[in-house]
Amino acid sequence: MKRVLSILLTAVLLAAAGCAAPEPAESGEEPRLSVVATTYPIYLLAREVIQGVEGVEVERLDTGSVSCLHDYTLSVRDMQKIEGADLLVLNGAGLEDFMSDALASADAAVIDCSEGVELLENLSHDHAEGDEDHDHGHWDPHYWMDPRNAAEMAGNIARGLVQADPDYEGTYLSNLSRTGAFLYSWYGDLEALLNWDEGPEITGLITFHDGFQYFAQAYDLPLLAVIEEEAGSEASAKEIVEITRLVQEKDIPVIFTEVNGSDATANAIARETGCAVAQLTMLMDGPEDGTLYDDYYTGLKDNVAAIVNGFAGEELQ
């Protein structure tokens, strides 16, 4: 099973390898337009949209260093970037609540990437930490996990750049057209990998972060349960019993943690039920010279491989 999946994945990689856009030309001069992205997916999308446009620099905040942005604190370097930005590109949907004060005092124009995206209601529960309750808001902000939503994000970024830098409208829109085509093509590639004839039946996902709702919906994967585990937040005994019972009743062969997240509860359930534990990524971090293909598409492809191999009963890598 794993060998066949590996062959299919290799074919997809070869087919998409020519889609990676070239790196923008670097210059030692001060940028004429400074763009600051609040998350890594936005950073990758913005870099695609500015290809071939001189004098535009895209930076990102250090939000990839944590698994949950609700408790993120802006660093001094983050504040410097915000203060020097001409454009701030936000995820929206409540994800940037941690920087509301900085946004209120910023002079930069703001692009909200969630405009036009059909948002889903948040699955996560409020969890107590001492005497303080943490409400993660009404809308689920992890919509970039669906490549079709990423295409909508790219559109918002391109329209904001055209407004700020109209002399390069043609280049921005051309880049948008190319980027959108890639994203929809990749969506189809991953859908095919999850639905190939010899693949295992995927009876339901159990994840330990609430960031996979859009991914599950995009690929028609049943999302059976979510337990949000973050620094300072552990699953209750009741939740552990409920998930253990669900794994046993549904004969679930694998449960999923999130890269950089806690796996303590998942490992306890695995010991009790015999299921495997694998990791999924929410694509929140990557290299500064990353590309949309290498670090967005490949991350989603790795998620698909983990799910298919996990339900196929193969040894997980």
- Do 56 and 148 fall within a single domain? yes
276 domain residue, yes or no: yes
The whole-angstrom separation of Cα 310 and Cα 275 is 9
Sign of the dihedral defined by the CA atoms of residues 143, 147, 152, 153, in that order? positive
The pLDDT of residue 155: 98
- Do 35 and 127 fall within a single domain? yes
- How large is the average pLDDT for residues 58-71? 83
37 domain residue, yes or no: yes
282 close to 260: Cβ distance less than 8 angstroms: no
- Do 184 and 253 fall within a single domain? no
- Do 129 and 263 fall within a single domain? no
316 domain residue, yes or no: no
Which of 190, 215, 233 lies at the terminal end of a domain, its last residue?
190
List the CATH number of the domain containing 246: 3.40.50.1980
Q: Which domain holds residue 10?
A: 2-190
What phi, psi does 240 have (nearest 5°)? -65, -45
Among the listed ranges 52-56, 133-137, 190-194, 218-222, which one has the minimum average pLDDT value?
Answer: 133-137
60 domain residue, yes or no: yes
- Do 283 and 176 fall within a single domain? no
- Do 157 and 118 fall within a single domain? yes
317 domain residue, yes or no: no
Q: Is 157 exposed, middle or buried (0-12, 13-18, 19+ CB in 10 A)?
A: buried
Q: How many domains does the chain have?
A: 2
- Do 264 and 293 fall within a single domain? yes
- Do 136 and 167 fall within a single domain? yes
Residue 128 confidence (pLDDT) above 70:
no
Closest CA to 49 of 142, 160, 149: 160
The whole-angstrom separation of Cα 148 and Cα 117 is 9
> pLDDT tens digits, residue range 208-263?
888 999 999 999 999 999 887 655 566 788 889 999 999 999 999 999 999 878 88
Which of 164, 190, 216 lies at the terminal end of a domain, its last residue?
190
Strand ranges for 86-237 from DSSP E? 87-90, 109-112, 127-129, 132-134, 205-207, 223-226
Q: Which residues does 235 contact at the CB level (< 8 Å), separation at least 6?
A: 227, 229, 243, 265
Closest CA to 219 of 254, 250, 195: 195
- Do 177 and 37 fall within a single domain? yes
- Do 130 and 217 fall within a single domain? no
Give the chain's length. 317
124 domain residue, yes or no: yes
The whole-angstrom separation of Cα 122 and Cα 297 is 24
pTM: 0.88
21 close to 51: Cβ distance less than 8 angstroms: yes
196 domain residue, yes or no: no
305 domain residue, yes or no: yes
Which of 159, 190, 221 lies at the terminal end of a domain, its last residue?
190
Q: Is 133 helix (H, G, I), strand (E, B) or coil?
A: strand
Comparing 52 with 138, which gets the higher pLDDT? 52
Q: Which residues does 162 contact at the CB level (< 8 Å), separation at least 6?
A: 168, 169, 172, 173
- Do 182 and 214 fall within a single domain? no
- Do 38 and 169 fall within a single domain? yes
> pLDDT tens digits, residue range 166-178?
999 999 999 999 9
